[in-house]
Amino acid sequence: MKSDHEGTTVEMLLRGFHLPTMASIYEPTMRRAEAEGWSHRHVLEHLCQSEATDREQRRIGRLLAESGLLEGKTLGNLDEALLPAKIRRQLPALLEGGFVSRSTNILAFGLPGRGKTHFLAALGRELILRHSMRVLFRPTFKLVGQLLAAKRDLRLEAELKKLDRYQVVILDDIGYVQQNREEMEVLFTFLAERYERRPVMISSNLVFSQWDQIFKDKMTTMAAIDRLVHHAIILEFDGSSFRMKKNPAPEEPKPKK
């Protein structure tokens, strides 16, 4: 039977080694081990497994906090029955996350209200929860503004390196940037930097034939599309509006006879 002093010393050492979970459960673990006759190996495995589990949970918490993902846009509250059949079939493979290691982009097209943003945000969240990946969600106009500010401050390269730490970047509503030449240039630079190295997931209300509204210059538009589709999975959200199904328009009152 060890003394309280010995227990305190071990806890202090564990905290000094930056093992806070092992330190906090050391005393109750030792009491349980003595009562149940655990072996030294069993005690050590229990302490290490508890530390590893808590450390992974803390890491996932940090990843979610820095991701910018929208609250409520989760897989649990995504009505998969409303998704097009082809996308429902693709979902299990996407959740496995192999497309990230292959640097395959995910391009989601469809009219407003079809569930593109919810789907990509939910997929991004699952990449964090299941695979501990670094994911960043940004409305495209905000990311473009971030890059423009960095360019004005002569730190665009540093900002691009910062974004490169994310294994996946989700650009929501790419068609809603202000579409001046300076914005087009930083957006194209960002996409070109990630080409064949890091995937992007993009939602767009505009089909490719309308992307000259984003990049203005025909050659730049073609170059951007070429880079994105070279390794890409294209998701077409061609069903009816999620929003209309969830919040149908009220019926007009019938005229009185």
> Can you tell me whether residue 73 is helix, strand or coil?
coil
Query: pLDDT digit string (tens) for 112-126?
Result: 888 999 999 999 999
pLDDT of residue 214: 86
Q: Which residues pair with 110 in a beta bridge?
A: 237
pLDDT of residue 4: 52
Distance CA 101, CA 244 (A): 37
Rg, the chain, Cα only? 25
Which domains can be identified in the chain, with CATH numbers? 4-66 (no CATH), 68-244 (3.40.50.300)
List % helix, strand, coil for the chain (3-state, nearest 5): 60, 10, 30
The amino acid at residue 168 is V
Task: Enter the tokens of residue 36.
Answer: 């149940």
Q: What pLDDT score does 109 carry?
A: 96
Structure tokens at 196: 């064949």
pTM value surpassing 0.75? yes
Q: Name the region of 55 (left: φ>0; alpha: ψ -120 to 50; beta: rest).
A: alpha
Q: CA 43, CA 26: separation in Å to the nearest integer?
A: 9
Residue 7, pLDDT score = 57
pLDDT at 115: 92
Low-confidence ranges of the chain (pLDDT < 50): 1, 244, 249-250, 252, 255, 257
